[in-house]
Amino acid sequence: MKFDYDVIIIGSGPAGFSCAMQSTKFGKKVLIVEASDHELGGTWISTGTVPSKALRAAAKLIHSFHSQFGDETGRKPFERFRMEDIMKYKTPILENKTRQFVDDIIKNKVNTARGWGRILDANHVEVTDQVGKKVTYSAEFVLISTGSRPETPKQFTVDHKTVLDYTSILKLTHIPRRLVIIGGGIIALEFATTFSALGTRVTILNDKDQLLSFLDHEIKESLDKTLKKRTIQIINNSSILHITENDLRNCNEVFFKTTDEDRVQVTETDHVLYVGTKIPNTEKLGLDSIGVKLDEKGHVIVDKMYQSSVPGIYAAGDVIGQPSLASASFLQGRLTASHMFGGSGDASTGSRDLPYGIYSIPEISGIGLTEEQATELGIDVTVGRAYLSSLTRAYLNHETDGVLKLVFRSDNLKLVGVHIISEQASDLIHLGQAVMAFEGNIKYFIERVLNYPTYSEAYKVAAFNGLNRLHKAGEKYRNLLDKE
């Protein structure tokens, strides 16, 4: 063999892991280089996706138990449960995921090298370990899957004691009574609803004029109602001035301004969670010296097969930018291996009808066009809605907040979008995704038997609701059922 390996993968997150697994299926020799000396799995297993979902699952259980079998003395969940209880729930989940990861790479004979990877040229990667020892490995291909990290704030320091990030908040030893979250994206919303479920009073300081502007307007309205019900305070258009400790009042104070009011405002809190914009990990990788092109934000520029500007060097995952999700990174990593060794790999599947899942409480998920987008594109669409309060299953679970909304073409009933705010929304979305992928129409939900009682019943209710709307607009019911 001309090289030590067929492919060297820098970074063990979902993009790197799935490229490794797919490469071994082609019988290839793989090396994963990982900078962390004690963890594997990147933001996916170690610091982001799985740990935050484990915290959410524990918080949701506590919330459901507490709201159903509430404490007659009116204690908040944080007075009844301790962070230790949550850790007991979370720790085995992470241990299990790491064990699965290690089992998979051992079973598939993937080698690992711990240390900082730096690309010397298209076929050579230098790895510097914790004590500074350098080893150079060679391969036919290199994958950059080094992920991203939150931007460093300028106005304050993340000290991991008072001001936390998404990694250090998962190591808190107590459930805070008050939490200020700086940031208005998906992760901010997830942590806000998770801590609110534990009884924490949450304030979100959002630098934009609204939360998650990409959501369908009705989903957004439903979300706003839920946040209000949970007394989560949202302050939009805010810019942080500084954060100081107030010893007299035994609290921390966050000073900020909003564009609406030209005065300094202050909010008291126990802790601050900073959720900054994602920055790609492309520094100190040697990319400029070998000519790998980056965009203005530092993401690796790739073509539709995830190849960088240097032949033989690929990039996948957060390092190439949006959508910056573990779900998409898994697919991108697999497609890079298919292209390297299978000579193909239809990259268009990686970007077509991409669903998103937001693990707030309740969850939010969507795919395809919103009603607003379809109208802007000049497509004549009708919508069908199912409110969770009309579903038996939602009642059984005491989770009746939310709505599922179908967006379909008025002429042939073809499904063009699904938008959901509901428990299990991130799972539910896949039924709509499959119907859309096979270019189906909403009659599928009407004509097929769906299990009862389920959350999926919402599709049937929404499809009937949509047909009724067309019927009321003047279409004969028989014509509607004959539409193909």
> Which of 138/390 has CB closer to ligand FAD?
138
Among 83, 110, 117, 388, binds ligand FAD (CB under 6 A): 117
Tell me the number of residues near ligand FAD by CB under 6 A: 36
Backbone angles phi, psi at 119, to 5 degrees: -85, 125
Instruction: Tell me the HSE value of 232 on the side-chain side, using a 13 A CA sphere.
Output: 31
At its nearest, how many Å lie between ligand FAD and the CB of residue 281? 5
Instruction: From 102-110, 141-149, 229-237, 298-306, give the range in contact with ligand FAD by CB under 6 A.
Output: 141-149
Residue 358 contacts residue 193 (beta carbons within 8 Å)? no
Residue 296 and residue 299: Cα distance in Å, rounded?
Answer: 8
* Whole-angstrom distance, CA of residue 256 vs CA of residue 238: 6
Which positions from 301 to 340 touch ligand FAD by CB under 6 A, shown as an x/- string? ----------------xxx----xxxx-x-----------
Say how many CA atoms lie within 13 Å of 41 toward its Cβ. 21
Q: What are phi and psi of 82, to 5 degrees?
A: -115, 160
For residues 10 and 403, which CB has a smaller minimum distance to ligand FAD in the complex?
A: 10
Q: Is 12 in the site for ligand FAD (CB under 6 A)?
A: yes
Distance of closest approach, residue 127 Cβ to ligand FAD, in angstroms: 8
At its nearest, how many Å lie between ligand FAD and the CB of residue 120?
Answer: 13
Nearer to ligand FAD by Cβ, of 326 and 442: the residue is 326
CB of 38: closest distance to ligand FAD in angstroms? 11
Pairing mode, strands 233-235 and 415-421: unpaired
User: Does the footprint of ligand FAD cover residue 341 (CB under 6 A)?
Assistant: no
Close Cβ partners of 283 (under 8 Å, ≥ 6 residues apart): 298
| Buried b or exposed e, range 133-149, using 16+ CB within 10 angstroms | eeeebbbbbbbbbbbbb
Residue 346, token pair as written in the block: 């239809």
Residue (81 or 116) nearer to ligand FAD, CB: 116
Residue 121's DSSP bridge partners are 124
Residue 399 found at the interface with ligand FAD (CB under 6 A): no
Interaction residues for ligand FAD, span 16-55 (CB under 6 A): 16, 33-36, 42-44, 48-49, 52-53
Judged by DSSP in three states, 153 sits in coil
Nearest distance from C-beta of residue 162 to ligand FAD, angstroms: 19
Task: Choose between 307 and 324: whose C-beta lies nearer to ligand FAD.
Answer: 324
Q: For strand 116-121 and strand 5-10, is the pairing parallel, antiparallel, or unpaired?
A: unpaired
Q: In angstroms, what is the minimal distance from the CB of 148 to ligand FAD?
A: 6
Spell out, one character per residue from 162 to 181, where the chain touches ligand FAD: x when CB under 6 A holds, - when not.
Answer: ----x---------------
Binding range to ligand FAD, per CB under 6 A, among 143-151, 207-215, 255-263, 472-480 = 143-151
Q: DSSP per residue over 402-445, as a string?
A: -EEEEEEETTT-BEEEEEEESTTHHHHHHHHHHHHHTT-BTHHH
**Residue from 281, 308, 360, 441 binding ligand FAD (CB under 6 A):** 281
For 229, other C-beta atoms within 10 Å of its C-beta total 10
Nearest approach, Cβ of residue 119 and ligand FAD (Å): 9
Provide Rg for the chain, Cα atoms.
24
Residues making contact with ligand FAD (CB under 6 A) = 10-16, 33-36, 42-44, 48-49, 52-53, 116-117, 145-147, 166, 187, 281, 285, 317-319, 324-327, 329, 359
